[in-house]
Amino acid sequence: MTRTYKWLGGIGYILNFIPYVNAVSAILVGIAWIMMGRETREKVFTALGIMLIILFAGGVAIAITMFASIFAFAPIGAMGPEARPFTRFGAMFGVLITVGVVILAIALATMVLDIIAHFRAARIFDSKWFKLGGWFRIGAIIAFAIAIPLVIFSVLSMGLQGILGQPAPGAGAPIFGLLFSTLWPLIIAAVISFLATIFSIIAFFTIPEEAPQPESPALAA
């Protein structure tokens, strides 16, 4: 049986790097993991695929909620008794916060499943690329967990004036160096995350094209 999911997964992870179409990445990768789960009967693959699709739907829900909140403020200039912009804002903001918390919880669960699925796939397909994808995902999580507090502390210690001060003519390079010296932990974390995705692309594309056929009882004898 031809493994269509190897192409869906590889292409889906590639689309993750392309602006404007990277939203489709979650759907293709999710379908690929679900198809892989059906073939291998690994529930963690199926669960990861479903969570990725739910995460995509949640992102769409947040976007719709934000657009709805903008339209809710459309009659803000009307000062009649029916105009209650702050009441509408409070309700919409509450919905947005609730949806955001749910999506965050789903995203955290998806990250855990993603790591487990990569190590499970590495064992099933004997693939070093899936294993590297799993390890680099762990490294990216640790790197971001360290980088975010470091950047926040660096920004607070430098102060707003140190970052937004007026540069002298031709002082573009020092400003670039200042930004790099502040954001380097996030840059390292982003590079690790980038490599994790690259390994996932290679892992899917290097899955054997044909599923192994069960051995005939006669041959086994």
Name the residue ranges covered by the structural domains of the chain: 1-126, 127-207
C-alpha 46/C-alpha 204 separation (Å) is: 16
Task: Point out the least confidently predicted range of 81-85, 106-110, 122-126, 139-143.
Answer: 81-85
Q: Are 119 and 186 a contacting pair, CB within 8 Å?
A: no
Rg of the chain on CA atoms, in Å = 23
Mean pLDDT of the chain: 79
Which helix (H) or strand (E) segment is 78 a member of? none
* Token duo for residue 79: 């000062």
Amino acid identity of residue 100, one-letter, is G
- Convert the pLDDT of each residue in 77-120 to its tens digit: 444 454 455 555 566 667 667 777 888 888 899 999 999 999 99
pLDDT digits (tens, 9 = 90+) for 151-198: 888 778 766 555 455 454 454 445 566 566 778 889 999 999 999 999
What is the pLDDT at residue 153?
Answer: 84
- What's the pLDDT at 156? 80
Question: What DSSP line would sit under 141-172, residue for residue?
Answer: HHHHHHHHHHHHHHHHHHHHHHHHSPPPTT-H
Instruction: Output the pTM of the full model.
Output: 0.76
Rounded to whole angstroms, what are the CA distances from 41 to 26, 45, 64, 72, 106? Answer: 21, 8, 36, 47, 23
Letter string b/e over residues 34-57, b meaning 16 or more CB atoms within 10 A of that residue's CB? bbbbeebebebbbbbbbbbbbbbe
Beta bridge partners of 2: 210
Which are the contacts of 143, defined by CB distance < 8 A and separation ≥ 6?
A: 185, 188, 189, 192, 193
List the end-to-end C-alpha distance of the chain, in Å, as a whole number.
Answer: 25
**Backbone φ and ψ of 210, nearest 5°:** -110, 140
CA distances (Å), origin 109, targets 19, 25, 134, 184: 25, 18, 15, 28
Contact assessment for residue 75 and residue 86, using Cβ atoms and an 8 Å cutoff: no
DSSP state of 126: T
